[in-house]
A and B are shown apart, each in its own frame.
Chain A
């Protein structure tokens, strides 16, 4: 089991159980509302409240903007419940500029690709979408290269 421990030094139980919760969440959403829920569209559809730009006011965004806000709020509430029950409070040590820049690039890319780790990664794979599977392989690849380059260049946490 030595090699297994090397691949998963913190064990796998919490990863497995957390993933099951996520799968159950997306399943629950589908069973009750029929919606297929990735997270990144929220960051585009919400702009339709304040921008008159035609793209943000497309039917698909305006029609879904309300439930997407409820979904996003739910995400934060669920994490708060975790923190107050079984979890522990923590604050990341990643620098503010890394978070802002990373967020900007990831936000731009996810919206261009029409999906992120949840939309392509979970919903896309689960519905056997070839484009989503390709997207996942591509973003895993570029993310690994970027993270390792960043570490080599600056030793950033």
Chain B
């Protein structure tokens, strides 16, 4: 069960990384071209990925009582508060500076784009500072 669980996570991650690469989202230059209104292709990536996921999230729990290798289906619970919105605004500024966000930084490194190491160091450091600002 544990092997199947972690094996599934690994396969899901690999599919995700393959998709990010195939859609060119691991190239910061392509992401920046979207943010500068030169190529709106990113919207197709976001659209097709969310639509597929939407169908799964809506219908799978009706077809299966539980996931294959665990006890229950989880939910992504976002709360409508100041941190969510202010954090999103700050995230966007960082994303706009380099064209790199967390997923593509990890995938990009796997594809041999070694300067993503700078991005990963930056993201880890930013997450650390954010964590240290939280009381507990």
Residues of A within 8 A of B (CB): 7-10, 12, 14-40, 42-44, 46-47, 51, 53-56, 58, 66-67, 70-83, 86-87, 89-94, 96, 98-132, 134-136, 138-151, 157
* A29-B12, A75-B110, A142-B93 known; A151-B84 Cβ under 8 A: no
Chain A residues, Cβ within 8 Å of B13: 25, 70-75, 77-78
Main secondary structure of the interface of A (DSSP, over half): helix
Asked if A104 meets B39 with Cβ closer than 8 Å, knowing A18-B25, A109-B93, the reply is: no
B12 touches A79 (CB 8 A): no
Query: Per DSSP, are chain B's interface residues mostly helix, strand or loop, or mixed?
Result: helix
Given contacts A15-B44, A147-B36, contact A27 B56 (CB under 8 A): yes
Question: A residues within 8 A CB of B126?
Answer: 43, 103-111
Give the total number of A-B pairs whose CB atoms are below 8 A apart.
529
Q: Which residues of the partner chain A approach B27 to less than 8 Å between Cβ atoms?
A: 90, 92
Q: B55-97: contact bitstring with A at CB < 8 Å (1 yes, 0 no)?
A: 1110010001011111111111111110111111111111111
CB distance from B99 to the nearest CB of A (A): 7
Across the A-B interface, the 6 shortest Cβ-Cβ residue pairs: A74-B13, A18-B23, A103-B122, A23-B52, A102-B98, A113-B87
